[in-house]
Amino acid sequence: MLKPNQFKQILDQIDSAYPSEQVDYKYIGTGNPDAKILIVGKETSIYADAHEQKEREIRNNLEDWKRIISNNKFQVEKWNGSNYSPLYPYKGQQFKIDNRKNGGTSRTWYNYQKLYNLIYGKVDNPNIDFHKVVFITEVNSNPSLKTKEADTSSIESRKKILLKSEFIKSFPVVIISGLGYFEISENKNEIEEIFGVRFTRKESALNRKSQSYWIHEGVNPPKLLINTRQLSIGVSDALLEAIAKEIRKSGLI
C-alpha cells in the first residue's frame, strides 16, 4: 500500500469524530485506496428496508477497513454471499445491469465500469473490475434511493473531515458524480475550496445541457477535477467518452 499513513489517519479521524450511534456517518468508501482516480457520489442507493445490505456496505465499512489494514489482507476472493470486502465489493459481478438473474450490477456501477473501460482502453471486458484502480466515496453517508428523500445531516461534517483530508487530497483525478451537494455561486465555490482547484471551463457532450461537465484544475500538486451529473440514469456514452478523454489527456493516471 502506497499511502498507508494517510488512509489510516482518515480512518482514525472518522472513527473518533462520531459517537457509536452515528455509525452511518463513519462510512469511508470502497475500492482501491491507492488508486489515482476518486469518484465522489451523492449517496449510495439502498432501499430503506434493505437492512442487511446497509449493515454490510455502510455500517460495517470502517471496521472492515480497519481489519484489512491491521491484517494486511489485500487479496479478495470472489463474492460467495458472505465474504464482502470494501476493497473489492461483490467481486465476480458481470458487466451487465442487474436483473436478479444475470449476475450483474447496479446501473451506477455499470456506468463506472464503462468509464473505466474507456479510460484504460479495455475492450470486451466482461467483468465489473473498476475497483482495482478507482476509489469511491459519497458526500452523504446516509443511503437513499432518491436524493429528495435523503437524510443529509452528515454532509457538512463529512465535507470538513473526510473531503478535506490528506487522503482525499492524494487523488490526482477526481470525478464528482452528482450536482447539488456543493454550494456554487458568484461569491462561493465549495468545490474549489475543498479540493484546492480552480474552475477552467464548461463542456457539453452532444451539445446537450443535460450532458454537461465542468473542468477544474489544480497546480500544486497537479489535479484534474470533473464535476458532472450523477452517473446513473440519463448518462450518454458520449458524456462518458468525453470525460474519459479529459482524464487520458491530463497525463495524471
pLDDT bin (cut points 50, 70, 90) of residue 115 is very high
- Output the furthest CA–CA distance in the chain (Å, rounded): 51
In angstroms, the CA 228 to CA 222 distance is: 20
Residue 115 counted as domain residue: no
Query: In this predicted structure, what is the pLDDT of residue 163?
Result: 98
Query: In this predicted structure, what is the pLDDT of residue 123?
Result: 86
Residue 101 counted as domain residue: no
Residue 239 counted as domain residue: yes
Residue 1 pLDDT > 80: no
Query: In this predicted structure, what is the pLDDT of residue 175?
Result: 98
Residue 152 pLDDT > 80: yes
For the chain, how many structural domains are there in total? Answer: 1
Query: In this predicted structure, what is the pLDDT of residue 148?
Result: 85
Query: In this predicted structure, what is the pLDDT of residue 202?
Result: 97
pLDDT bin (cut points 50, 70, 90) of residue 243 is very high
Residue 51 counted as domain residue: yes
Residue 222 pLDDT > 80: yes
Total residues found in the chain within this entry: 253
Over range 45-69, report the average pLDDT. 93
Q: 92, 78 in Cβ contact below 8 A?
A: yes
Coil, strand, or helix at residue 94?
strand
Residue 159 pLDDT > 90: yes
Strand partners, 37: 134, 173
Residue 174 counted as domain residue: yes
Average pLDDT over the chain, rounded to whole? 95
Residue 2 pLDDT > 80: no
Q: Angle 22-225-218 (CA atoms, 0-180°, nearest 5)? A: 110
What CATH number corresponds to the domain at position 209? Answer: 3.40.470
Q: 167, 38 in Cβ contact below 8 A?
A: no
Residue 30 counted as domain residue: no
Enter the C-alpha cell of residue 102.
Answer: 444475470
Residue 182 counted as domain residue: yes
Query: In this predicted structure, what is the pLDDT of residue 138?
Result: 97
Query: In this predicted structure, what is the pLDDT of residue 132?
Result: 95
In angstroms, the CA 15 to CA 178 distance is: 26
Domain of 41, in residue numbers: 4-10+37-75+134-250
Query: For 155-222, what is the HEC assignment?
Result: HHHHHHHCCCCHHHHCCCEEEEECCCCCCECCCCEHHHHHHCCEEEEEEEHHHCHHHEEEEEEECCCC
Query: In this predicted structure, what is the pLDDT of residue 48?
Result: 75
Of 20, 110, 127, whose CA–CA distance to 63 is shortest? Answer: 20
Residue 98 counted as domain residue: no
Over range 84-99, report the average pLDDT. 96
